Amino acid sequence: MDLFANVALGFERALSLDALLFCFLGVAIGTFVGVLPGVGAMAAVALCLPITFYLDPTVALIMLAGIFYGAQYGSSTASILLNIPGTVTSAVTCLDGYPMAQQGKAGVALFMVTMTSFIGGSIAILLMMLFTPTIAAFALRFSSAEYFMIMAMGLIAAVTISQGSTLKSLMMVVVGLALGTVGTDTGSGAMRFTFGILQLSDGISLVAIAMGLFGVAEIISSIGRDVSKSVVAKDISFRSMLPSKAEIKASVMPTLRGTGIGAAIGALPGAGATVATFMAYALEKKVAKDPSRFGKGAIEGIVAPESANNAAVQAAFIPTLSLGIPGDALMAFLLGAMMIHGIVPGPRFLVDQPVMFWGLVASFWIGNVFLLILNIPLIGLWVRILAIPYRFLYPAMLFFICIGVFAINYQVFDVFAVMVFGFIGFVMTKFGYPPAPILLGFVLGPMMEEHFGRALLMSRGSFDIFWQRPISAVLLAISLLLIAYSMKGIFLRVRSGAHAPEEASREL
Amino acid sequence: MTEQSQSRPVLNRWELGAAAIFFLLGLYMAIEGSHYGLGSITRIGPGFFPVSIGVLLMLLSVGVAFEVRHSLAAAPKIPMRITLVIAVALLSFALLVNTAGLIPAIFAVVFIARFAEPGNNVVASAILAAGLALVGWLAFIVGFNLPLKPFWW
């Protein structure tokens, strides 16, 4: 079968020495930043991006992707041991993970989340191998009308599914689109919103926006907030990690259910891994015979969300690689990184770059095996890393951000930009405006404009093209349904005009 | 809560102000964008998308303004010391990296950033800054050959 030949091709690439080395480096860095609360995968990718310019693009992609899924493994460690999520995707894991650690079962909890992460990730990779080529082949028939609609749908889905004010999220998407128009217009070559600043003619740097809104803003709001807590279990022996038969048995179904939810949510454009973890946890609570055990150290409460977030992160590569449409802000960032490398995302990616695609998929398997090794025998190392106080951490992060932002274009201007976006990001989250939709809008905006223009050119200026082509019509219908679905919530909020103060989450 | 305060809640000036900023941003985009040329509907010009975005932004900001008009959110507390120190740290990196070189720039950003928290040990800051500068030099200049100069000479 064709699939096997392709997989073999991929493994041949992924098993070469440079790919193995950078895959390992990627997942190790990912675990490291995942373990540390307040240091996200995005900052790590931004830091590594300039380094990867000097690598083969396939190897570069393998390494950057490794940081993303590696972070999912690491993030549960802090949740379990400190009751602080390493990244937001492990926030739910705190609920039952920390009680387990207090009961002296930290080892079992860490072992089980690593195993279920591996299982969730592996199943999602399988799905990815099956579905990505199919979707990409289907998408080769898409015209600009479909492209425009699918991107619009993705943005609308991301906004309507997110928590908090839908209107504010929607506005942030539009702000992202607005930022995306800065620079030279690809169609006409006209300079837009550059204010005569030469550095803006290439547009605003994606890395500067992302690092400002997420990295610098996070640092400003975290300094002074004392997050250091004593680690419950300093030394975890291999013996203490082995789960009992009953614990394994209790974990099988939740893992599979979590994987299912994670893979389904992750593959949708617009919904990220965080939503998947909350849904997986809620489902386990619903199907449990005794829901009162949850929050007191129920093993189902950690294995389901952890399998879900790993499955979601792997499945998120399906729309990203088959359509060139990112599912969440993290994928948008990775997509941006691909474009900086000169890789054109979209359905032709698979046809034009089979070695790169299948090499990447193969590296996911290899990376997950590395992660298993990194997270079970070496767990003690990561636990020690947790003891690093924030007062040493944040200056180092600031240095990473500076290098990551500067070394993309070697422009001092980008460092100023990151400062400005950091301040804006800090203030806007205080007012309940979430930053993640900005990133999505920013990456998708220029593509949407291009496809919108092309679609109208094709139809000779008639908007009918968006509902006369069947696929485009379906996408339009889904978008309208999503809007209709959120209308009631918007209406209620607008009518009351009052709500409790809420800070938007910096989640991705 | 009295009857009156329930029937006439106060307008939240901060939230409305934030919405107004987005309205003005939209207005600016629409006006400035229209100078770029809207083109025709068959062949949209470079101004078409910015103007659409500007109009959308204005509409949404009006919606948001209605939504938040009686919000209970207070003015955000901006930690002046932290914001200022972080800004100075980033600025010093920006100003030093091309003139003085990578090592002084890293040293400056790390050393200055440590002042964001009161009571951080200055000697520890210097050691941390020197250590990270060394790491930065080893990783990016020696290891990956990024075209950056370590010092000004």
Reported as a pLDDT band with limits 50, 70 and 90, residue A270 is: low
Note the pLDDT of residue B2.
40
Q: How far is CA B18 from the centre of its chain?
A: 15
Reported as a pLDDT band with limits 50, 70 and 90, residue A228 is: low
**Residue A496 in contact with partner chain B when CB distance is under 8 A:** yes
CA gap A322, A132 in Å, rounded: 5
Chain A from 214 to 243: CB within 8 A of any B CB:
216, 219-220, 223-224
| Side chain identity at residue A31, one-letter code | T
* Token duo for residue A12: 């041949």
Question: Which residue do the tokens 């906004």 mark?
Answer: A159
Residue A191 pairs in a beta bridge with A184
Q: Residue A191 in 3-state DSSP?
A: strand
Reported as a pLDDT band with limits 50, 70 and 90, residue A148 is: very high
**Residue A388 in contact with partner chain B when CB distance is under 8 A:** no
List the single residue in B with minimal CA-CA distance to A456.
B42
Residues B87 and B42 in one domain: no
Note the pLDDT of residue A499.
66
Closest by Cα among B71, B110, B68, B73 to B89: B110
Tell me what ipTM this predicted complex has.
Answer: 0.91
Alpha carbon separation from A382 to A32, A68, A112, A358 (Å, rounded) = 7, 17, 16, 31
User: B136 and A494 in contact by Cβ < 8 A?
Assistant: no
Give the rounded percent of residues in chain B with a pLDDT score beyond 70: 93
Task: Decide if B20 is inside a domain.
Answer: yes
Note the pLDDT of residue A358.
93
Task: Decide if B153 is inside a domain.
Answer: no
Give the rounded percent of residues in chain B with a pLDDT score beyond 90: 56
Give the rounded percent of residues in chain A with a pLDDT score beyond 90: 31
Nearest to A165 among B61, B67, B105 (CB): B67
DSSP code of residue A293: G
Alpha carbon separation from A270 to A154, A157, A267, A327 (Å, rounded) = 5, 5, 9, 5
Reported as a pLDDT band with limits 50, 70 and 90, residue A343 is: confident
Note the pLDDT of residue A409.
86
Cβ neighbours of A190 in B, within 8 Å: 36-37, 46
CA gap B70, B15 in Å, rounded: 9
Identify how many contiguous H helices and E strands chain A contains and give both numbers.
24, 2
Cβ neighbours of A21 in B, within 8 Å: none
User: Other CB atoms closer than 10 Å to residue A164's CB: what's the count?
Assistant: 15
Note the pLDDT of residue A51.
81
User: Other CB atoms closer than 10 Å to residue A267's CB: what's the count?
Assistant: 25
Nearest to A460 among B42, B106, B146 (CB): B42
Question: Which residue do the tokens 């209970």 mark?
Answer: B72
pLDDT digits (tens, 9 = 90+) for A412-429: 999 999 999 999 999 998
Nearest to A494 among B29, B37, B66 (CB): B66
pLDDT digits (tens, 9 = 90+) for A157-216: 888 877 778 899 999 999 999 999 999 888 788 889 988 888 888 889 988 998 899 889
Reported as a pLDDT band with limits 50, 70 and 90, residue A75 is: confident
CA gap A295, A318 in Å, rounded: 33
Chain A from 148 to 167: CB within 8 A of any B CB:
165, 167
Q: Residue A476 in 3-state DSSP?
A: helix
For the segment A290-300, the average pLDDT, to the nearest whole number, is: 88
**Residue A352 in contact with partner chain B when CB distance is under 8 A:** no
**Given its phi and psi angles, is residue A243 left (phi above 0), alpha (psi -120 to 50 degrees) or beta?**
beta
For the segment A72-84, the average pLDDT, to the nearest whole number, is: 85
Question: Which residue do the tokens 């400002």 mark?
Answer: A212
Q: Does the structure show a pLDDT above 90 at A222?
A: no
For the segment A433-457, the average pLDDT, to the nearest whole number, is: 90
CA distance B144 to chain A (A): 6
Note the pLDDT of residue A508.
54
Nearest to B113 among A187, A395, A457 (CB): A395
CA gap A141, A403 in Å, rounded: 41
CA gap B111, B119 in Å, rounded: 13
Last residue of a domain, one of B40, B68, B96: B68
pLDDT digits (tens, 9 = 90+) for A373-395: 998 888 888 888 887 888 888 89
Note the pLDDT of residue B1.
38
User: A167 and B148 in contact by Cβ < 8 A?
Assistant: no
Note the pLDDT of residue A181.
93
Contact of B60 with A170, CB cutoff 8 Å? yes
DSSP A195-222: TT-GGGGG---HHHHHIIIIIIHHHHHH
More confident residue, A507 or A293: A293
Question: Which residue do the tokens 């339009």 mark?
Answer: A476
**Residue A418 in contact with partner chain B when CB distance is under 8 A:** yes
- Range from A64-78, A322-336, B92-106 carrying the lowest mean pLDDT: A322-336
Could you give phi then psi for residue A184, rounded to 5 degrees? -80, 125
For the segment A335-356, the average pLDDT, to the nearest whole number, is: 86
**List of residues 6+ apart from B109 with CB closer than 8 A:** A395, A398, A399, A402, B89, B90, B92, B93
Residues B7 and B63 in one domain: yes
For the segment B52-70, the average pLDDT, to the nearest whole number, is: 92
User: B73 and A185 in contact by Cβ < 8 A?
Assistant: no
Nearest to B71 among A187, A461, A499 (CB): A499
* Token duo for residue A270: 């617009």
Q: Which of B53, B92, B149 to mutate to test the interface with A (most CBs of A within 10 A)?
A: B53
Closest by Cα among B53, B25, B48, B30 to A450: B48
Sign of the CA dihedral A233, A236, A240, A246?
positive
CA gap A350, A255 in Å, rounded: 31
CA distance B21 to chain A (A): 11
DSSP A1-65: -HHHHHHHHHHHHHTSHHHHHHHHHHHHHHHHHHHSTT--HHHHHHHHHHHHTTS-HHHHHHHHH
For the segment A59-71, the average pLDDT, to the nearest whole number, is: 92
**Given its phi and psi angles, is residue A203 left (phi above 0), alpha (psi -120 to 50 degrees) or beta?**
left
Task: Decide if B148 is inside a domain.
Answer: no
Average pLDDT across chain A, whole number: 87
For the segment A71-83, the average pLDDT, to the nearest whole number, is: 86
Note the pLDDT of residue B4.
43
pLDDT digits (tens, 9 = 90+) for B136-146: 999 888 887 78
- Range from A23-32, A134-143, A155-164, B40-49 carrying the lowest mean pLDDT: A155-164
Residues B136 and B95 in one domain: yes
For the segment A484-493, the average pLDDT, to the nearest whole number, is: 85
Contact of A137 with A351, CB cutoff 8 Å? no
**Residue A485 in contact with partner chain B when CB distance is under 8 A:** no
Residues B60 and B90 in one domain: no
Reported as a pLDDT band with limits 50, 70 and 90, residue A507 is: low
CA gap A324, A332 in Å, rounded: 9
Helix (H) or strand (E) run with residue A183 in it: strand A183-184
User: Other CB atoms closer than 10 Å to residue A253's CB: what's the count?
Assistant: 14
User: A220 and B83 in contact by Cβ < 8 A?
Assistant: yes
CA distance A491 to chain B (A): 9
SS (H, E, C) A310-361: HHHHHHCHHHHHHCCCCCCHHHHHHHHHHHHCCCCCCCHHHHHCHHHHHHHH
Average pLDDT across chain B, whole number: 87
Note the pLDDT of residue A256.
94
pLDDT digits (tens, 9 = 90+) for A153-172: 888 888 887 777 889 999 99
Could you give phi then psi for residue A319, rounded to 5 degrees? -65, -30
Residues B62 and B90 in one domain: no
Last residue of a domain, one of B45, B68, B91: B68
Count up the domains in chain B and report the number.
2
- Residue B134 structural domain: 80-143
Contact of A320 with A327, CB cutoff 8 Å? yes
Nearest to A431 among B18, B44, B113 (CB): B18
Residues B64 and B86 in one domain: no
CA gap A80, A107 in Å, rounded: 10
Highest mean pLDDT among A263-272, B2-11, B56-65: B56-65
Last residue of a domain, one of B35, B68, B101: B68
